[in-house]
Chains A and B, each alone.
Chain A
Amino acid sequence: GQNIDQPTEMTATEGAIVQINCTYQTSGFNGLFWYQQHAGEAPTFLSYNVLDGLEEKGRFSSFLSRSKGYSYLLLKELQMKDSASYLCAVNQAGTALIFGKGTTLSVSS
């Protein structure tokens, strides 16, 4: 079957580092996406990984291990505006995306 797992909620403080994990079991794999969604707003694209390793984009980095079916999103120097839901999504061999339930991150001062 197809399954994408992420923690439901996480909390952190301003300036800290947080890692949001995602594990997946899908019948095909053509890349993994991370999206950010603020309450009442559209999901926005953060990162894409198709090869093993770390992709860095400013304060955000994303890691993929295909053999382990595992990814994480790393957020550094957290800011209050980073409070949002973070969605992990897998592209299965040319079809549209399969999403996890999302991780709600709350950043406090």
Chain B
Amino acid sequence: ETGVTQTPRHLVMGMTNKKSLKCEQHLGHNAMYWYKQSAKKPLELMFVYNFKEQTENNSVPSRFSPECPNSSHLFLHLHTLQPEDSALYLCASSQMTGNQPQHFGDGTRLSIL
């Protein structure tokens, strides 16, 4: 139990579907992150939110749309995804951005048909 909960754990969707990934942290942290983890590749940072404000968008395609309604919840809205978007999507949180340890959720395994 890391204090960061992601749902769903697995998701299979077609390229024309719209779905959302959810992340909730119970650690009282102020920063939240979305990462993509593909086989044989490093963890790739997608988005950073600090006190609900987006502070970083790492050149992510617009078919991924993040939402952070409060410091405890983070969503990733998915629309018209491509097969290469199949990956493990990890959410993390930390007390602040910068040199603070990040606590990760178990991820959502996404498969695009």
Contact of B101 among A30, A48, A94, A95 (CB under 8 A): A48
Binding site of B, secondary structure by majority: helix, strand, loop or mixed? loop
Q: What is the chain B residue whose CB lies nearest that of A8?
A: B40
Contact of B99 among A45, A48, A99, A101 (CB under 8 A): A48
Q: What is the chain B residue whose CB lies nearest that of A50?
A: B99
B2 engages A96 (CB within 8 Å):
no
The number of residues on chain A lying at the interface, defined by a beta carbon within 8 Å of a beta carbon of chain B, is: 25
Q: Identify which of residues 25-79 in chain A touch chain B, using a CB-to-CB cut-off of 8 Å.
A: 30-31, 33, 35, 40-45, 48, 50
Q: What is the chain B residue whose CB lies nearest that of A88?
A: B42
- Interface stretch, picked from B59-67, B78-86, B103-111, is B103-111
B98 engages A44 (CB within 8 Å):
no
Q: What is the chain A residue whose CB lies nearest that of B43?
A: A99
> When chains A and B are docked, how far (Å) is the Cα of A65 from the Cα of B102?
22
Q: Identify which of residues 1-39 in chain B touch chain A, using a CB-to-CB cut-off of 8 Å.
A: 2, 4, 33
User: With contacts defined as CB atoms under 8 Å apart, how many contacts are there between chain A and chain B in the complex?
Assistant: 56
Task: Determine if B76 is an interface residue (Cβ-Cβ < 8 Å).
Answer: no
In the complex, which residues of chain B have a beta carbon less than 8 angstroms from the beta carbon of A97?
43, 45, 102
> When chains A and B are docked, how far (Å) is the Cα of A44 from the Cα of B104?
7
- Kindly provide the distance from the CB of B38 to the nearest chain A CB, expressed in whole angstroms: 10
> Given A96-B45, A99-B42, A99-B43: A43 and B99 within 8 A (CB)?
no
Task: Determine if A4 is an interface residue (Cβ-Cβ < 8 Å).
Answer: yes
Interface CB pairs A-B, < 8 A, 12: A31-B99, A42-B4, A42-B104, A44-B2, A45-B103, A48-B99, A91-B98, A95-B98, A96-B56, A97-B45, A98-B42, A99-B42
